[in-house]
Structure 1
Amino acid sequence: MDGIREKYGLSERHACWIVGQHRGTQRYVPTVPADEDALTRAIVALASEYGRYGYRRVTALLQADGWQVGKDRVQRDPSVARG
Structure 2
Amino acid sequence: IRSDNGPEFIATALREWLGRIGVKTLYIEPGSPWENGYCESFNSKLRDELLAREIFYDLREAKVLIETWRWHYNTARPHSSLGYRPPAPQAILPAAFIPP
Greater RCO between the two (CA within 8 Å, min separation 6)? Answer: 1
Q: Same fold (TM over 0.5)?
A: no
Structure-2-length-normalised TM-score: 0.24
Structure-1-length-normalised TM-score: 0.28
